[in-house]
Structure 1
Amino acid sequence: MVFNASGKILESSSSSSSVSQAELASYGNRILKANEKLISTLVKPTDTNDSVSFTLAAIEAEVFMVGRNVTLDKIPRLDTTNSSVDIDLIGIAKNNNETRSAAVAFMSYNTMENLLKPDFFNTPNATIKTMMSTVISATLPKTTNTKLTKPVNFTLKHIREFEPSGSLSCVYWNISEWIVDGCSVLETNINYTVCSCVHLSTFALIMQTSRPSESDSLLELLNMVCVPVGLVFFSLALLTFALCQWSPGVNNVARINLCISLLCAHLLFLLTQEFLSLIRPRQVLCAVISGVLHFLFLSGFVWMFIEAVLLFIRVKNLSQISSKKWEALNSGFLCVIGYMVALVVVGVSTAVDPKGYGSEQCWIKMDEGFIWSFLGPVCVILALNMILFIIIIINLILTLKNLNAEVSQMKRTKIMTFKTLAQFVVLGCSWILGFFTNDIEELEILFLILNSQQGTFIFLVYCVLNDEVRQQYRKFFRCLCCGLKPNTIKKR
């Protein structure tokens, strides 16, 4: 009851915006002292060894005791969900000549970082500090001689996504600040870090990262401007596809579904980043959103590939396009391919590693190669689309050479050539730039602009530059100007 009460006090104290840093540190110190005294009551005399553990919403704890007749031949390990400690308790017990006993209490605080914030870690450089582990505490209750015989090793699991460019520090709490004296990093990877300390106290793992540069701010601004613009043009393209009547030889299934997939994906991503502070604490919701984003973006790439195949067929038969060519490529068949491929990939990924979704940005986690469940299919599709794009360009060049010098036919072919070049973005080939940015500001800006404007290019290529669509829109606007209210836009 007391531990639960202290957990509620911790949450209520940290949620108040009027509490100063000094008061937060004072609250934290009081809770630490009270819990250390309380946990010491679980220590009971034993001749060999014994342990007690419990798990609450805010606190996990384990107490391990050894006596004079202990038969353990190795250093005991105490575990909680996100941390563990290896301490030479047997050696400490031998140094207690009278009792030949010792006890260690190990506690992990799930929400203590709200009081003992990482900003209490004073460093000379103005960096962003992030708590990478739960706050843990280790003490030797009811032990006469508390001198350590060996350094204590703590294994701290990362509770947030590890930034490779960040600097990790093993720190301990010293009344009003986090300091590193006596602690060092022994081993680290993307999942956990091992800290070694020569004393016991309250510990944590803090990561320092550099503050965003001006280029990062520019990219963020461009993202907030370009993505909404792209969403507007996705919507305009969908509206055009829905209102206009198309000739039987035109197959818009891939374009419509490509717009739907990318419109939903970009909109969901934009809203997620806007409300990330509200979504991130709800881990299940964050994981679901990342799974849906995985599906939407992946289905978008599949539709890009389908559009590339359809464009290849159209260019291959430039001089004579027959509607029979599209009979085998009906809408239902294309939709099964467009969405089932992405659904299967996401389903298999979820079955293999359900915890792979829900990073700090509510996207796919980078650890253990799970990101390749997205990058793998994307790389294959981009490679195929690049091959098809090159073949299309070669076919167009050959066709232009063999055409008669008929002005109208030449004009149509040049327009189609321009459209095909614009397809470099529509087919997603510009996403290849993402593999070569390497923090090069110019490439990052180009990558952001091109890929956020796929909707703009789709609208330009298939709507603005389409004679049939332009004529139907002229009739529509002419009717509006004359005060008429046509039920439908008649076919040319």
Structure 2
Amino acid sequence: MVGKWTLLMLVWLLPIFMAQNIRSCPLGFSSQPSGCVDVNECDPTPCGNNSQCFNTNASYYCQCKKGFESSTKMENFTIMSIATCIDINECLKIEDICGAHAFCNNTISSYNCSCKKGFISSTGVKTFHGDDGVTCRDIDECKEEKVCGLNSLCINTQGSYNCVCKTGFELKSGKSSYTGEVEQCEDMCKLDKTYCGHGTCHSGPSGHYCACHEGFTNYGNKKSRCIALDCGVFKNVKNLTKTSHIVEDHVKQLSKSCLEITEVEDPKKLDGEGLLKTLQLIIDNLLSSKALNDNRKVSTFLDLVEGALGLIGPFVTTRRTKSSSPHTELELLVHNGSVKPQETKTLSSKHAQLDIKMEVAAGNLSQYPGFTVVSLLSYSNLEESAGGFFSGMKQEENQIFGINSKVVTVTVSNTDTNHLKETVNITLYHLDQSNETSHTCVFWDSSTDGGTWSPRGCSVVESNPKYTVCSCNHLSSFAVLMALYEIEDHFELQLITWVGLSLSLICLFFCILTFSTIRSIQSPRTTIHLHLCISLFIAIIIFLAGITQTENKVGCAVVAGMLHFFYLAAFCWMCLEGIQLFRMVVLVFNTSFNTIYMMAGGYGVPAVIVAVSALVNAKGYGTKRYCWLNLDSIWSFFGPACVIIIVNIFFFLITAWKLAQKFSSLNPDMDSLQKIKAFIITAVAQLCILGTMWIFGCFQFEKGTIVMSYLFTIFGSFQGVMLFVMHCLFSKQVREEYANILTHFCAPRKRKYSEFSYSHSSKAQGSKSTQDTGESHI
């Protein structure tokens, strides 16, 4: 019985003992009689497809096989990471894995390389790997027989070849080459009888050549098309050449060279560089002699320049030529070759820049003469001769134009430049970079009104104070215009002008009589007053009599010159007035000016300014509406005037400050209001006398300055009245002399000699005392 219970107990306890033994081994190990043994988790493998399992002590890890990568981008993973192994595309992942001229083909877990069409592997195998050291080399198809047809040549290229016709032959299709299909190259003289244009096509051992008809040329390029040669431009310049024998001789030289092109056997022997110098000598002579004095001469001149550049360009041997002279700056670019150039080129000078596609400069293929020429020529002072001809412009009311760049001429070998298939860009740098008015791109149109500036075909791409970029669909001579505005005519302004100037004439006449005849008041100051009044008096008379007499250009120019001189003289005497006033009030000494020095400053300086201005720009005197300076020369007046105004303002401020001190010291009982009133009246009147009202005239060049116009007209017209009031009526001494004169004429009485002597002596002493103190009569 005991044995039976013992057996049952053992059966019941055995699983417990076994479970205790299992739990005693760590995870990843199994209990064996010999102890805990590592479990091989890789048998069977848990890692999935395209992977391999690696057992470790108590664990394991998975890795993708070669040519595969983990979807989680982890090199080691377990089944718990849910990673899979995907194929690596070596063709995308490794740049240029197969090397040059080879294709890459991806395969599962690997890739293979094969050479492109036209290439063969260096070992002869069809497929290879990038690390096999195999390269792809070009197959020379031209070594094979009959690759190209008759009268053609085979040209090997990387991976392919081209068939081109031999010299003197051409494809019927008009293509320059072919590959694969065998086309027939035929004699080009038979294929296209118009190939030479205005010439006869001949076939020879060296290929075809063109014999040009009379009046046509291919400039010595025998294989190029014959084009028209116009030498007439050198015959129609009599109105230019008659001004100078040197110009006439040079033009004859160009005309002779033009005729030689069709007569000599080899025109290429013509000296292009020498002809360029001849052309620049012609331009220098014409621009320095001021011979271009009307628009028709300007048109003839520009036609001559454009024709000469078209003639000379093909014979210049240097690819890029830069040449300058006293009045020109030139850059010329030449491309020779049967193939039309395609690139974009830039030509530049100090005042302009040209950006142009050489394909545009070459023209149509049917007219291509075998060379391409582009030139950019800028003139130093042509804007002076070509200014003022704006009949081709649409002008707003009171709007006028002025040239604000140098004039440039652009020429190309393309004979059809009236409407280019692509526009060209010309950058023109401004002469006046301080003016922010609108700018317009224009060209010289010789076909309208004998010659005028016109905006047709040109537009502004970009414009700032420094330069304007113009885009034009044709080529000629170009410039940039800036728009200005004249002062509008108002009846009120005219009325104020005539009334004010008439009163000023009367007042100035009395001033002249006063300062020249009354001896008791004569001094260096009154001498300045006298000549200031004389200058203004003569200027006003000339102004009233001749300002609108524009019918006779020479007479109008004389009137403008005299106005220029006498108004400048008035300014110079105003400057002397300011200096003398400063010496009297501030420096307080009576050292008088030498009369010769005063005359030199008052009349000599304006005479020099007017002479220089007239020599530099004689056309600046006289406009279409008034006998006055035009906008190109106006600053020869306003420049010196502004300098004098600034000097006088400086002297006035110091003088006014001293006068204010004198008001306080000489009138201690005057209340503040009276002091301020006296100071303001004196300040404003003195400012007018010294000519600072002319500063309002500097604002007359923009639209909408009517307020400035009224101020300028009022102050300027009544300046003579102001001078009479300030220097005569405000002067106690002059008033006393006027009273004496009136008393003498109105109530004459006899006076004793002693009384007269005493009175005269007292007045003289008073006058001397006043002058010696150096204080202003004001």
Q: Is the 8 A contact 2:496 2:714 kept in 1?
A: no
Q: Find the residue that maps to 2:630 and give its secondary structure.
A: coil
The code of the aligned residue for 1:331 comes to S
Report the equivalent of 1:475: 744
Taking the aligned partners of 1:231 and 1:165, their CA distance within structure 2 comes to 39
| Residues 127/120 of structure 1: CA separation in 2 closer, same or farther (3 Å cut) | farther
1:22-421 correspondence to structure 2 within 5 Å: 36-49=306-319, 51=321, 62=330, 64-68=332-336, 75-78=346-349, 84-88=352-356, 99=370, 101-104=372-375, 106=377, 113=386, 117-122=389-394, 125-132=396-403, 136-141=408-413, 151-155=424-428, 158=431, 164=435, 166-172=437-443, 176=448, 178-184=454-460, 186-189=462-465, 195-210=470-485, 212-215=487-490, 218-227=492-501, 229-246=503-520, 252-264=523-535, 267-268=538-539, 271=542, 274=547, 294=568, 296-307=570-581, 310=584, 328-332=589-593, 360=630, 363-365=634-636, 373-395=643-665, 397-398=667-668, 421=681
- Secondary structure of the corresponding residue to residue 126 of structure 1: coil
8 Å CA contact retained: 1:261, 1:300: yes
Shift of 1:184: 0.8
Deviations 1:271-298 (A, max 9, x none): 4783896589989x96x98688556414
**Residues 231 and 455 in structure 1, CA contact (< 8 A), matched pair in contact too:** no
The answer on whether the counterparts of 1:131 and 1:204 sit within 8 Å (CA) in structure 2 is no
Counterpart CA distance in 2 for 1:151 and 1:185 is 11
On the 8 A contact 1:424/1:430 being kept in 2, the answer is no
Change (3 A) 1:344 1:157: same
Aligned to 2:238: 5
Please give the alpha-carbon distance, in whole angstroms, between the structure 2 residues aligned to 1:185 and 1:261: 52
Counterpart CA distance in 2 for 1:337 and 1:398 is: 38
Shift of 1:195: 3.7
TM-score, normalisation: structure 1: 0.61
Structure 1 293/199 Cα, relative in aligned 2: closer, same or farther at 3 Å?
same
Is contact 2:582-2:652 (8 Å) kept?
A: no
Contact 1:308-1:427 within 8 A present in 2 as well: no
Is the Cα–Cα contact under 8 Å of residues 156 and 193 in structure 1 kept in the other structure? yes
Alpha-carbon distance, 1:200 to partner:
1.9
**Which consecutive residues of structure 1, in runs of 5 or more, have no partner in the other structure?**
16-23, 314-325, 402-413, 480-489
- Alignment partners' CA distance in 2, 1:102 and 1:338: 61
Matching residue of 2:774: none
Q: Identify the residue that residue 685 of structure 2 maps to in structure 1.
A: 425
Q: Secondary structure at the match of 1:101?
A: strand
Say if 2:440 and 2:460, in contact at 8 Å, map to a contact too.
Answer: yes
**Are the structure 2 counterparts of residues 341 and 30 from structure 1 closer, same or farther at C-alpha, using a change threshold of 3 Å?**
closer
CA contact (8 A) 1:129 1:206 kept: no
- Across the aligned residues of Structure 1 and Structure 2, the Cα RMSD in angstroms comes to 5.9
The answer as to whether partners of 2:462 and 2:469 remain within 8 angstroms in 1 is yes
Between structures 1 and 2, the one with greater helix share: 1
Amino acid aligned to 1:103: V
Letter aligned with residue 460 of structure 2: S
Question: Shift in Å at residue 226 of structure 1?
Answer: 2.6
- Answer yes or no: is the 8 Å Cα contact 1:463–1:470 preserved in 2: no
- Between the aligned partners of 1:388 and 1:101, the Cα distance in structure 2 is 75
Measure, in 1, the Cα distance between the counterparts of 2:302 and 2:400: 22
The 1:275/1:371 distance shift into structure 2, 3 A limit, reads same
How far does residue 380 in structure 1 lie from its aligned partner after superposition?
A: 0.5
Relative to 1, partners in 2 of residues 1:203 and 1:180: Cα closer, same or farther, differing over 3 Å? Answer: same
Alignment of 1:11-26 (within 5 A): none
What whole-Å deviation, never above 9, does each CA across 1:164-189 have from its counterpart, x for those lacking one?
A: 58532112356548235442163454
2:547 aligned partner, one-letter code = E
Deviation at 1:40, TM superposition (A): 2.1
Partners of 2:312 and 2:739 in 1: CA distance: 82
Question: Is 2:509–2:537's contact at 8 Å kept on the other side of the alignment?
Answer: no
User: Could you tell me which amino acid in structure 1 is paired with residue 500 of structure 2?
Assistant: C
TM-aligned CA deviation for residue 329 of structure 1: 0.8
CA contact (8 A) 1:255 1:303 kept: no
Letter in 2 for 1:303: E
AA aligned opposite 1:75: T
Given the superposition, is the C-alpha separation of residues 118 and 31 from structure 1 closer, same or farther in structure 2, using an over 3 Å criterion? same
User: Contact 1:48/1:68 (CA < 8 Å) preserved in 2?
Assistant: no
Deviation at 1:240, TM superposition (A): 1.8
Give the letter for the 2:531 counterpart: I
TM-score of the two chains, using structure 2 as the length reference: 0.42
Alpha carbons 1:166, 1:210 under 8 Å: kept: no
Q: Give 1:120 deviation, angstroms.
A: 1.8
Per-residue CA deviation, residues 298-332 of structure 1 (Å, 9 max, x unaligned), is: 4413424534664689xxxxxxxxxxxx9x51434
Secondary structure of the residue aligned to 2:332 is: strand
Q: Matched residues, percent identical?
A: 11
- 1:122-145 deviation line (CA, Å, top 9, x unaligned): 35x434332426765422136799
What is aligned with 1:407? none
Q: CA deviation at 1:153?
A: 1.6
State the shift of 1:466 in Å.
Answer: 1.3
CA distance 1:300–1:308, shift in 2 (3 Å)? same
Counterpart CA distance in 1 for 2:608 and 2:353 is 37
Q: Deviations over 1:11-61 (max 9, x none)?
A: 99997xxxxxxxx99x987876666435422223345336597989xx979
Q: Please state which structure has a larger fraction of its residues in strand.
A: 2
Distance 1:135 1:127, change over 3 A: farther
Residue type matched to 2:428 in 1?
T
Structure 1 contact 298–374 (Cα < 8 Å) conserved: yes
Say if 1:185 and 1:375 are closer, same or farther in 2 by CA, change over 3 A.
farther
* C-alpha separation in 2, matches of 1:144 and 1:254: 72
Is the alpha carbon distance of 1:241 and 1:147 closer, same or farther for their aligned partners in structure 2, counting shifts above 3 Å? closer
> Partner amino acid for 1:121?
M
The SS at the match of 2:590 is: coil
